[in-house]
Amino acid sequence: MSNLCDLRQDAQRLAEQNTRIKVCGLKRPEDIEWVNLAKPDFCGFIVEFPRSSRCVSRELLAELTAQLDPEIIPVGVFVNAPVKLPAELAESGVIRAIQLHGQEDEEYIRRLRKLIGGDIPVIQAFSVQTAEDLQRAAESSADYVLLDQGSGGTGKTFDWSLAEGFTRPFLLAGGLGTDNLAEAIERLSPWAVDLSSSLEIGGLKDRDKIIEAVNIVRSFEQLK
């Protein structure tokens, strides 16, 4: 599996590869056990954002990622965090990619890159409601953009027709589940799909749902 850090070099080639899958919002040791079994490409951890029920402290994050299969890339998800937080976690090797899911602007990304250098990819999330939102995403200096319905974990999709023809590699999030994964991949050809709430029962990640989602993505790609 290609390391996410290598992907910046050839976006067009990478866009043509199989769709990847990210499981987001892990917070328990059993979550790690299950993703190690299912083997998605990426796992997301919401770091020090207490408003999220999926939030983890930096200490718990280090404990969880230490148990993660090394082939799975840990992504730190940050919401308007002090820029030093993602930078320190990346520098220490606790995370291998940074996802910005708040109101971080180009100046924030510039400051972050100054701290982390060029080896750690930055993903910027955009809430998609209008064509103008897609234009902002297209112009982002982040390595990758994530297109979502809102602030994340809402379980709702946005109007996919807005993203048809979007040319840069992107992660698709918002309301994705086992019932619409294949449709999403076939219709939008995302670089990756990002799932969270649909893989839960009672607010907790479910082993069978994680495995089923990963299997759907892998099986769909085998048919291409």
Write out the catalytic residue numbers: 24, 148
Q: What is the CA angle 94-96-101, rounded to 5? A: 100
Grouping H, G, I as helix, E, B as strand and the rest as coil, residue 52 is: coil
- Asked if 73 and 3 touch (Cβ cutoff 8 Å), the reply is yes
Backbone conformation region of residue 180, classed left if phi is above 0, alpha if psi is from -120 to 50, else beta: alpha
Q: How far apart are CA 130 and CA 221, in angstroms?
A: 30
